Chains A and B, each alone.
Chain A
Amino acid sequence: MTLHTGSTAPADADRRAALRAGGGLGLLGALTALGLLPPSAVRAEWTRAGFDAKSVAQALSDAGLGGGVNAEQIQLEAPEIAENGAVVPIRVFTSLAGVDRIAILVEKNPTILSSVFELPDGTEPSIVTRVKMAETCRLIAAVRSDAKVYLASKEVKVTLGGCGG
Chain B
Amino acid sequence: MRRGRCTAARTRALAVALVVLGGGALAPVALQAADPAPDARFKQLLQQDFRPRGGAGMDRLEQDPVQKICTETHDRPPAGPREALQKEQLEAIRWPADGHFLGDWRAGEKVAQDGRGMTWSDLPGAVSGGGCYGCHQISPQEIAFGTIGPSLLQLGRKRGASPQMQRYVYGHIYDAKAYNLCSTMPRFGFSGALTEQQIKDLVALLLDPDSPVNRP
Chain B interface (Cβ within 8 Å of chain A)?
113-117, 119, 121-122, 129, 131, 133-134, 143-144
Contact = CB atoms under 8 A, between A and B. Distances in A.
Nearest to A160: B144
Contact of B134 (A81, A157, A159, A163): A163
A162 B145 CA distance: 10
A164 interface: yes
A100 B144 CA distance: 39
22 contacts: A81-B143, A157-B143, A159-B143, A159-B144, A160-B113, A160-B144, A161-B144, A162-B115, A163-B115, A163-B131, A164-B114, A164-B115, A164-B129, A164-B133, A164-B134, A165-B115, A165-B116, A165-B117, A165-B119, A165-B121, A165-B122, A165-B131
Interface centre among A81, A161, A163, A164 (most CB of B within 10 A): A164
A101 B118 CA distance: 51
A164 B67 CA distance: 24
A159 B121 CA distance: 23
Interface of chain B, main secondary structure: loop
Interface of A: 81, 157, 159-165
- List the 10 shortest-distance A-B pairs measured between CB atoms, nearest first: A164-B115, A159-B144, A165-B116, A165-B115, A160-B144, A163-B115, A164-B131, A165-B119, A163-B134, A164-B134
A160 B115 CA distance: 11
Contacts of B115: 162-165
A85 to B, nearest CB: 11
B113 A164 contact: yes
